[in-house]
Amino acid sequence: MQFTAAVTHEGGWYVARALEVEVTSQGRTVDEALENLREALELYFEDETMPEVVEPPIIATVQLSA
């Protein structure tokens, strides 16, 4: 099963969020954050039913005037 992750840099951490489910993790590097997210997703789905199909999220840019 493949999920989409958004990674942001917050303070000294990279935060990785799965966009299809409410699962988030962090790490000191992007790779570490993504690996930690993978582990968090595996733990999450130990208690939740894995969806048969995951519809990809719509990613869009929203611009605000200054």
Q: Could you read off the pLDDT of 7-64 as tens digits, one per residue? A: 999 999 999 999 999 999 999 999 999 999 999 999 999 999 998 888 889 999 999 9
Residue 51: predicted pLDDT: 87
CA separation for the pair 29, 23 (Å, rounded): 18
CA separation for the pair 43, 40 (Å, rounded): 5
Phi, psi of 23, deg, nearest 5: -130, 130
Residue 38: predicted pLDDT: 98
Residue 66: predicted pLDDT: 85
CA separation for the pair 66, 57 (Å, rounded): 28
- Give the CATH fold of the 1-66 domain: Double Stranded RNA Binding Domain (3.30.160)
Q: Token match 């790490």: residue?
A: 27
Q: Token match 């570490």: residue?
A: 32
pTM of the model: 0.87
